[in-house]
Amino acid sequence: MVTLEESYDICKGLNKRFDKGYYFLSHLLPTEKRRHIYALYGLYRYAREVSDKPVSASPEDRIESLEVFAERFFTDLGTGISEEPVLMAAIDTIVKFDIPKEYFGRFLNSMRMDIERSSFGDFSELSRYMDGSAGVVGEIVQAVLGVSSDLAIENARELGIAIQLTYFIRDISTDLDRQKIYIPQDEIEGFGAAPAFESRKPNDGFKELLKFEIARTRDLYERSKAGDKYFDQSGQKCISATRSVNSQILDRIESVDYDVFSVRVQVPALNKLRVLAGARLLRNT
């Protein structure tokens, strides 16, 4: 059996391997808080691996695997300890910060929805999915960062949802490869963008659709700023940098004339370094 410190190291390795951007931004936090963010990422990654593999499995088999995982997770959470290499650090973090159990129920419910559904009829349906796949992530992170204000919690939710919507827009093509569409169907139809999803070539309707999606997402980023003042200095800089780096993805989408089928846009490493350097300078002032 691994030790608790080894479990935290495993979670750190998962974060570094699978989400370098998230790992990069976490360095704005103090070491002690950073390790707990890694632990929560490890939980997310472990649950995702359980629900996604094997790729040839039926939805029913994947749901069964997720339910087995959920039962083990909640059993271990009830005792406050786990012998599983990833769950050990995650549960230690959840107990330490007294993170509500229901957050993780919502998270796992959205993972189940992701297995069951390939598209969403309207933004209301998508929002119910994002509650557990993005909104609650913001709530969990703010618990680690030590904020309890209702406004800060709501703004953390808005930031989490804005980031996920950004990825949904950027990853339209790769999601289609997985037979998934995370843009609401009524909006696709309303803008006359359905032919673009079939041909994977942007038409005028598709471009107008993405302009609409980007505007809504930018509004969420902007609204999320109101909660920054409730965090300590390191938390403020991490949240601000996270917002800055991810919102730049929207700028990059516009720069390729909304052709997310031909290129998966990325924020240049130099831009990320500038954001990190700027945030660190502000931390030291």
pLDDT at residue 108, rounded to an integer: 97
Domain boundaries, the chain: 1-116, 118-285
Residue with more model confidence, 44 or 24: 44
Q: What does pTM read for this prediction?
A: 0.93
* Architecture field, domain 118-285: Orthogonal Bundle (1.10)
pLDDT score of 2 more than 60: yes
| Mean pLDDT computed over every residue of the chain | 93
| Cα distance between residue 171 and residue 264, in whole Å | 7
Listed as own residue / partner, the contacts of 145-153 with beta carbons closer than 8 Å and 24 or more positions apart are 145/29, 145/33, 145/231, 145/232, 145/235, 145/238, 146/231, 146/232, 146/235, 147/227, 147/230, 147/231, 147/235, 149/227, 149/230, 151/226, 151/227, 151/230, 152/227, 152/230, 152/231, 153/227
- Residue 36: partners with Cβ closer than 8 Å, 6 or more residues away: 93, 96, 97, 144
Task: Calculate mean pLDDT across residues 201-219.
Answer: 98
Task: Calculate mean pLDDT across residues 261-281.
Answer: 82
Amino acid at 266: Q
Confidence of residue 284 (pLDDT cuts 50, 70, 90): very low
Confidence of residue 271 (pLDDT cuts 50, 70, 90): confident
Helix (H, G, I), strand (E, B) or coil at 264: coil
Confidence of residue 203 (pLDDT cuts 50, 70, 90): very high
Same fold: 1-116 with 118-285: yes
Confidence of residue 86 (pLDDT cuts 50, 70, 90): very high
Q: Residue 106 in contact with residue 28, Cβ under 8 Å?
A: no
pLDDT at residue 55, rounded to an integer: 67
Q: pLDDT tens digits for 115-152?
A: 999 999 999 999 999 999 999 999 999 999 888 788 88
pLDDT at residue 51, rounded to an integer: 85
pLDDT score of 285 more than 50: no
| Cα distance between residue 148 and residue 145, in whole Å | 9
**Residue 66 is encoded by which pair of tokens?**
């997720």
Tell me the percentage of the chain whose pLDDT exceeds 90.
80
pLDDT score of 105 more than 90: yes
* Architecture field, domain 1-116: Orthogonal Bundle (1.10)
